[in-house]
A and B are shown apart, each in its own frame.
Chain A
């Protein structure tokens, strides 16, 4: 094949050989990375396949959700086996009477003539077909009361998202545009709060929340987000600093006050960064286990999805298919959101400019 190409091309053969070598090297390397990726994501496949099996299908040890195929003969369900025929080919036949050393089979295409076969039928391979049990998801959803968990999670996530958007964009605007005395020290303090383990501040915060009656409600999961957090302030500040100041200045000359400039100039130009913050918060709130665990443990009606999955999976622990179906329900929304907006998720880093 290569020689043909060489004949028809004006390229010298050594260039082509180099290209071909490059192509093969590149294909092999890509294949290798693909294998690494497959190993990395294999538990996903395991989860998905386990979630659509019955307990019987799991116990057989088959990779795929397979079930034995039967053939109805004179009102009886007969199991199908792969039986070697006289000409050496394998035929799918239904077992009518199985004895130790010889058995009677039925050819499903010609059920009128039973076939006698000599050999041990127990050594034959049963015929299996893919048999998917999507009803597991219905059972899992009913079992954990998925609609309620979903509503709770969305309420908590969206309220917190509104708080984060408002507070972080205001604070980031303050840090990016105004001559506050000691601004660089304040900003350093803000960034260094990232490395504070949250469990250090947990106890007094919990005591205060419990004194004012907020434990067992969503408030401890929502209200703190109205007071800005270091990650998002940092991200938004980096973004605001890239917006040219000419527009603010022009608006200021026209008599706009800084808050009007924020609403009418900064915000409309920052939509990509605000989307990053919003999606980031939704995923954070959806995945957050620690805070609802501390504040909502006894309150089953108020659980978000993370607590629901953990609590119900302990109950369903003996049913691997249910555990995996529940785990899959728990990750579907964030993963779909991620694939729909993967550009946004991967862009967050570009905005913060961590690489610089």
Chain B
């Protein structure tokens, strides 16, 4: 569209320049365009496409960094080995347990908090938003050490607070069961961005919609669930996708908490840690690449599945799915 406008103007005033190199203006603009996006094209080839293809190839070899010059193709051996890897089962179970606990919180809490911040009763919205967002900026390493001490069984404030209401808090960090809710709590400080975009989406819901509903006698809760939630469903969907991806790449928090050993028990031995151990501690790049490709295929399938379901519940302002 731009180019059309420009070429019309150009046609009148700059015709000779447009022809100097034997290219039309459209072609020259195309070349400029390719030049401008070339950093990304090169980066995509170098840091995404090539590594993905390479890791696919490596997954069929016995590549080990200890002896990098002695690489053999081993066919499907690495893929067959997946079936007899007991730690893979441990890691998958740990990852699934965490996902089941963390995903509902990651989806619902930002909606709840954004709903509080959006309520017309609340004074000082901007200050509240800023303070709720702030922990998102804190380095994950600091977050883990702060919460680890905060959740300490004896000295930590969390159990002391529970004690005030007569509950004896568990040993969050060193229990193979309670470490999962502990990790969900640690993850609370990562909600800032989801909260911010959910809040922004709620502010963007046209006010005529609630006014009409209010005239019809709808209560605040009805308005929230029947109007606001459907209207912000694209953002809920976006948060869902990012949270699911977050589970697939979940590494730092369990690694720092479990000292890379999966402590306590193997409760923090997540899929990504299993991959890291095989590839970098044991230097088994072949098997590591197999794990990486399996992760890639699973995350692709899950994302595609989520996108397919989205047409049934995500509001689309163009009205395509309204029938």
Contact = CB atoms under 8 A, between A and B. Distances in A.
Partners in one complex: yes
Interface of A: 25-27, 29-30, 33-34, 36-37, 40-44, 46-47, 50, 58, 61, 166-167, 170-171, 173-175, 177-181, 183, 186, 189-190, 193-208, 210, 224, 226-229, 233, 245, 248-249, 252-253, 255, 257-259, 262, 283, 286-287, 289-290, 294, 305-306, 309-310, 313-314, 320, 323-324, 326-328, 330-331, 334-335, 337-339, 342, 345-346, 349-350, 354-356
A258 B32 contact: yes
A287 B140 contact: yes
B249 A199 contact: yes
B299 A197 contact: yes
Contacts of B210: none
A164 to B, nearest CB: 10
A39 B189 CA distance: 12
Contacts of A342: 130, 133
Contacts of A310: 141, 256
Contacts of B35: 174
Contacts of A200: 51-52, 55, 292-293, 295-296
Interface residues of B, number: 99
A228 B43 contact: yes
Given A204-B50, A226-B39, A289-B141, A355 B131 contact: no
Contacts of B140: 287, 289, 306
Contacts of A233: 40
Interface string B231-262: 01001001001000100110110001001000
A344 B48 CA distance: 30
B163 to A, nearest CB: 11
Interface of B: 2-3, 5-6, 9-10, 13-14, 17, 26, 29-30, 32-37, 39-40, 42-44, 46-48, 50-52, 54-55, 58, 63, 65, 68, 113, 116-117, 119, 121-124, 128-135, 137-142, 145-147, 149-150, 155-157, 188-189, 193, 196-197, 200-201, 203-204, 232, 235, 238, 241, 245, 248-249, 251-252, 256, 259, 272, 275-276, 279-280, 285, 288-289, 292-293, 295-296, 299, 303
A214 to B, nearest CB: 13
Contacts of B235: 354-355
Contacts of A259: 32
22 contacts: A26-B123, A30-B124, A44-B135, A46-B150, A193-B48, A197-B272, A197-B295, A201-B48, A202-B279, A226-B39, A227-B47, A248-B2, A249-B5, A258-B32, A289-B139, A324-B146, A327-B141, A331-B137, A331-B139, A338-B137, A354-B201, A355-B197
Contacts of A245: 2, 5
Contacts of A334: 137-139
Contacts of B121: 25-26, 29-30
B196 A44 contact: no
A178 B36 contact: yes
Given A200-B55, A200-B293, A253-B9, A37 B40 contact: no
A3 B305 CA distance: 63
Sorted from nearest, which 6 A-B pairs have the closest CB atoms?
A227-B43, A178-B33, A174-B36, A204-B54, A174-B37, A201-B51
Contact of A193 (B44, B124, B134): B44
A319 B69 CA distance: 46
B295 A199 contact: yes
B149 A204 contact: no
Nearest to A250: B9
A175 B38 CA distance: 11
B245 A173 contact: no
Given A30-B122, A178-B3, A355-B197, 14 more contacts: A33-B128, A171-B36, A177-B33, A190-B40, A195-B241, A197-B245, A200-B51, A203-B51, A207-B63, A227-B39, A227-B46, A252-B6, A309-B139, A355-B204
B128 to A, nearest CB: 6
B249 A258 contact: no
B139 A286 contact: yes
Contacts of A197: 245, 248-249, 272, 295-296, 299
Contacts of B141: 287, 289, 306, 309-310, 313, 327, 330
Contacts of B117: 33
Contacts of A199: 249, 251, 272, 275-276, 292, 295
A314 B272 CA distance: 21
A37 B131 contact: yes
Contacts of B276: 199
Contact of B40 (A29, A167, A289): A167
B48 A171 contact: no
Contacts of A349: 193, 196-197, 200
A84 B140 CA distance: 50
A334 B192 CA distance: 14
A200 B123 CA distance: 46
A219 B149 CA distance: 35
Nearest to A34: B128
B130 A207 contact: no
A339 B54 CA distance: 43
A205 B50 CA distance: 9
Contact of A345 (B65, B137, B251): B137
A195 B149 CA distance: 33
B134 A335 contact: yes
Contact of B252 (A173, A290, A324): A290
B29 A178 contact: yes
Contact of A320 (B149, B285, B299): B149
A286 to B, nearest CB: 6
Contacts of B48: 193, 196, 201
